[in-house]
Structure 1
Amino acid sequence: MLRALKFALLALIAVIVAAFAIGNRTGVVLSLWPFGLELALPLFLALEATLLLGLLLGGLIAWLRAGRHRARARRLARRVEELEGEMHRLRAATASTPSAPAAPAGPALPGTAGSDLRLPGRSAA
């Protein structure tokens, strides 16, 4: 569906560009003042070349400005790979060690070891 929509949009743009080219075949002279150059071109070619040049320059500027974001993304991707490698090494090390019995959660309370647990006010019988 998306491919067909893209094809239809490109076909529409091609038809518009072709109609513009057919309607604007009159010749114009472009003068590049400081260099003393003059070019005789059809009007549609001069306008479409200007549009294409602007598109390319805009794309180049956008690509250059996004450079720091691409560099940051590469740096973060390397960091993720390092952390994933460390995680796999730690999992492998944890899986290879025998499991030890669980240690008590906190310090031992006085009077809680074995049978010497007495309630206050009661004598041992």
Structure 2
Amino acid sequence: MLRALKLALLALIAIIVAAFAIGNRDGVVLSLWPFGLELALPLFLALEATLLIGLVLGGLVAWLRAGRHRTRARRLARRVEELEGELHRLRSGAARPAAPAAPAGPALGTAEAAPRLAGSRDAA
């Protein structure tokens, strides 16, 4: 449906451009003042070339202004890939049963901790 609508719109634009070209076949002379250049061409060609140049320049300006957004999108996409990889790594690590971790040091209530506590009281 959308494709047919696009084709119909494109056909309408083509018909308008063709009718404009047929109705404006008279020749005009364009002179580019500082360069001393003169071009003799049909009026429709001069107007359509001007329209095309404006379209290209406008597209170039829009593309250049969107550069920072494209850069940010690439940076964020890389970050998403990194985080997805980390998530996958963490999930695959969580699926395996982990061995109980050894305590970092003796607990306060054990016999090994008692001499240190007693020694610290004596020093005070």
Q: TM-score band (shorter)? A: 0.7 to 0.9
Alignment of 1:1-125 (within 5 A): 1-98=1-98
Match of 1:97, SS?
A: coil
Residue identity opposite 2:46 in structure 1: A
Please tell me the residue identity of whatever aligns with 1:40: A
Deviation digits for residues 73-125 of structure 1, max 9, x if unmatched? 0000000000000000001111112497xxxxxxxxxxxxxxxxxxxxxxxxx
Tell me, in whole angstroms, the C-alpha distance in 1 between the residues paired with 2:78 and 2:97. Answer: 29
Taking structure 1 as the reference length, what is the TM-score of the superposition?
0.78
Q: Report the Cα distance in structure 2 between the residues aligned to 1:98 and 1:29, rounded to whole angstroms.
A: 85
Percent identity reads 84
Output one character per residue of 1:11-52: Cα deviation in whole Å (capped at 9) or x when no partner. Answer: 000000000000000100000000010000100000000000
Q: SS state of the match for residue 25, structure 2?
A: coil
Consecutive unaligned residues in structure 2, runs of 5 or more: 101-124
Q: Secondary structure at the match of 1:25?
A: coil
The number of aligned residues is 100
Shift of 1:8: 0.2
One-letter amino acid of the counterpart of residue 3, structure 2: R
Q: CA RMSD in A?
A: 1.2
SS in 2 for 1:61: helix
The separation in 1 between residues aligned to 2:47 and 2:18, in whole angstroms, is 13
TM-score, normalising length: structure 2:
0.78
- For the residues of structure 1 that align with 2:4 and 2:11, how far apart are their CA atoms? 10
AA aligned to 2:14 is: A
